[in-house]
Structures are given as structure tokens and as C-alpha cells.
Structure 1
Amino acid sequence: MKKLLFALTVLLALLQLRLWMGENNLSEYFLLQTQIQAQQDSNAKLIARNQILKAEIIDLKSGTEAIEERARNELGLVKEGETFYRVVAAELRDRNSLGQ
């Protein structure tokens, strides 16, 4: 009976050693779980960004309003007959008037 108890104790010790120190141990498992969660968060952000880009592409393909808005915002284009007003912040205006 003592030999069986000794053998079971040695087996338990070896299993514990493998659990804490061996290949694919518990600390590696928790590290991988953290990395998986970070990758899933990153993937979710990229999926959301892709959905926004797909919606923008559909909008650009379907109508001229989106193209016109982009031309105004990114290129500064103005329609014929429109008056363009540029609003300068007070801080920039004061700095320019002082010659700085």
C-alpha cells in the first residue's frame, strides 16, 4: 500500500511540475489568453473601420453629394456663383497682426 501511495505522490508531483514549469504551462496559457483578447479587440476596431469605408465607397458610387462634399472639404473647391468665406480664429489673427 505504501508503494502505491508513493507512486501516486510521485505522479502527482510530476503532473504539478509539468503544469507549472513544463511546455504549455499555466503562465503561457494566461499569456496567450491576453494576446487573444488584444487581437480580438484589434480585429473589432478594424471591422468597424472597414464598415465605415464600405459605406463611404457606396455613398461615393451612388451619388454626387458625397463627391461634392469631399471636393469642398479636401480640395477647397467652390461652386460657380457661391461666395467663399474663411473664418480665422482670433488667436491666429492676433498673432499675424503682431508679426509673429
Structure 2
Amino acid sequence: MRLISVALALLLLLIQYPLWLGKGGWLRVGELEKEVAAAQEKNEGLRQRNAKLASEVNDLKDGTGAVEERARFELSMIKQNEIYVQILGKDQAKPATADAKP
């Protein structure tokens, strides 16, 4: 009788091994759930970035305000009959003028 009990206990342990430590076991499922959560978080960040870029594309296609803003700040362009004034801080060097003599 004791032999049968030991054999059944051993069989029970052998059946439980794949459930806990096997390829599709509970420990592996926990690891995969963490990976899925990280991937979903990354995807949400990418969705927000894509929405922002899509909004910017629509602004550039539909309105002239965004184009004008980019031209002003990135290309330093000004409108006709407009005066450009740049204020330098104390630690910034003065720009060289064309008529300055060394």
C-alpha cells in the first residue's frame, strides 16, 4: 500500500512539472504578461506621437499659420515691410556687421 501511495505521489509531481516549469507553464505566462504590458505601453506612446504628427501634417496642409510659423522660427524669414529685431543676452556675443572694420 505504501508503494502505491509513493508511486501516485510521484506521478502527481510528474504531472505538475509541465504546469509550473514547462514551456507553457505558469511562470512563463507571468513573464509573457509582463512583456505584453511593456509592449502595450510602448504602443500607446507611439500612438500619441503619431496623433501629434498627424495633427501637424493637417495644419501644414490646411492652414498657412503653421507654414508661416515654421518659416519664421526655423528659417528666420520675415514678411515684407517688417523689421526683425533680435535681443541678445549678456552672455551672448554681438553679431558681426558687414561694414565693421577690424
Q: TM-score range by the shorter chain?
A: 0.7 to 0.9
Q: Which residue matches 2:54?
A: 54
Q: In structure 1, what is the Cα distance between the partners aligned to 2:26 and 2:92? A: 59
Indicate whether 1:92 and 2:92 are aligned: yes
Give the length in aligned residue pairs: 93
Q: Which residue matches 1:26?
A: 26
Q: Structure 1 residue runs of 4+, over 6 Å off?
A: none
Q: TM-score, normalised by structure 1?
A: 0.75
Q: In structure 1, what is the Cα distance between the partners aligned to 2:6 and 2:69? A: 80
Q: TM-score, normalised by structure 2?
A: 0.74
Indicate whether 1:16 and 2:8 are aligned: no
What is the DSSP-based 3-state SS (H/G/I as helix, E as strand, rest coil) of the residue aligned with 1:90?
coil
What is the DSSP-based 3-state SS (H/G/I as helix, E as strand, rest coil) of the residue aligned with 1:29?
helix
Where is the helix percentage greater, Structure 1 or Structure 2?
1
Q: In structure 1, what is the Cα distance between the partners aligned to 2:85 and 2:76? A: 11
Cα distance change on mapping 1:21 and 1:73 into 2, 3 Å: same
Note the C-alpha offset of 1:73.
Answer: 1.4
Larger Rg, first or second structure (1 or 2): 2
Q: In structure 1, what is the Cα distance between the partners aligned to 2:42 and 2:90? A: 40
Q: In structure 1, what is the Cα distance between the partners aligned to 2:89 and 2:26? A: 58
Pairwise CA RMSD: 2.2
Note the C-alpha offset of 1:25.
Answer: 2.6
